[in-house]
A and B are shown apart, each in its own frame.
Chain A
């Protein structure tokens, strides 16, 4: 299967997200073809500062995808995913906005119709593949590994059409498909990590990360699995200030790679701040 891929700005600098996603998508035959010429989605900064340009940024990415004949745009970042969904929603409900956005895009010969479906790679693996398609690649026994599935807030909110808004189970199922297990009652799974507020308001945001990490630890997890570069960064990097035992924070693609028997260097595990030891 072939998908238009929107990596987003933070993908390459993340701790092995790119390397592990590329390796895993090759194994699973989910071909992620980068949308040529993509730009930043604008994220919360643009929604907070601008009216029209905040919609034009994500619309340009989707217009490029349309021009390049992609029916679906796959994201690997919660903020990108949510920004594209939100722009799509606003444009579908507002003809005047749609006209203005298209007038701006016409400067570059682009147009937006809203025909692309916006997706997240984790959800693609769960919805488009048969669990057996994943299972047949599993080479390493992860039975002893308990992984807390941390979805973050923006993946399924406010839309709520991917899974339950408060208690999604999609990644839980994916982790179990790999042979590892999940704590049944990880209640911090959709709490906010503090996002970009961690920099200016570190003191206020540390309790948020403490809850995410503390809940995982107290429920017996030995690793946390994430689907977003900013979630991964905040939960990994903030641990030095928590006064709790360290717990590694992996991308879900790294976990898949580990189960598929890929090497640590293929998954760039050494880029994690809290190290993950395979044994």
Chain B
């Protein structure tokens, strides 16, 4: 997709058009706990999107560092649902196959989605095992912590599937079908 099509998708499908109301005050970037590590703070990111520079927007690490604390949304004087726009940009970047260099969150989210799709629930071990496969160092450096947790019987090796797993899977399959059709 080119910049114009991406902007149309963000503005229309994901209701990003409300960022037209942004007054560029920077309350979002100022209140964001991880803004210092972002390529652009939310304020700059929205300005780029408004200008139609969507490829730059989707290449940024900004939305992958968004931790969903909603502080920006509370502070925004124009009531822009900033966190939701971050979710939209993450989904768009993934669908376009664009990944910010060094962004590890897509792998973490995938490691979370795996057990949910399979069992309907997650355990810490299931998520960690999947994530370790992609980023062994991140998990290895926590080996000592894992030992401490195991010693306190806090790592459950068993899966606990939802009661009606077949029903759950049918619901999720239908949800995907409907999403693809729309």
Contact = CB atoms under 8 A, between A and B. Distances in A.
30 contacts: A13-B123, A14-B154, A36-B163, A37-B162, A39-B162, A44-B68, A45-B108, A47-B87, A51-B179, A52-B175, A52-B176, A52-B179, A53-B172, A53-B176, A56-B172, A56-B175, A82-B70, A103-B178, A108-B170, A157-B74, A192-B71, A194-B33, A195-B68, A196-B112, A197-B105, A199-B138, A200-B104, A200-B108, A201-B104, A237-B145
Interface stretch (A114-122, A158-166, A248-256): A158-166
* Most chain B C-beta atoms within 10 Å of own C-beta, residue among A10, A52, A240: A52
Interface of B: 33-34, 37, 65, 67-71, 73-74, 81, 83, 87, 90-91, 94, 104-105, 107-110, 112-113, 116, 120-124, 131, 135, 138-139, 141-142, 145, 148, 152-156, 162-164, 167-168, 170-176, 178-179, 182
A270 B70 CA distance: 33
B105 A153 contact: no
B171 A108 contact: yes
A111 to B, nearest CB: 12
Interface residues of A, number: 62
A221 to B, nearest CB: 21
A60 B121 CA distance: 13
A154 B162 contact: no
A267 to B, nearest CB: 13
Contacts of B173: 107
A153 B168 contact: no
A56 B122 CA distance: 17
Given A50-B91, A194-B33, 6 more contacts: A39-B162, A42-B116, A100-B178, A100-B182, A191-B33, A199-B108
A171 interface: no
Given A13-B124, A204-B34, A271-B152, A192 B67 contact: yes
Given A48-B109, A200-B104, A204-B37, A37 B164 contact: yes
A197 B34 CA distance: 10
Contacts of B81: 158
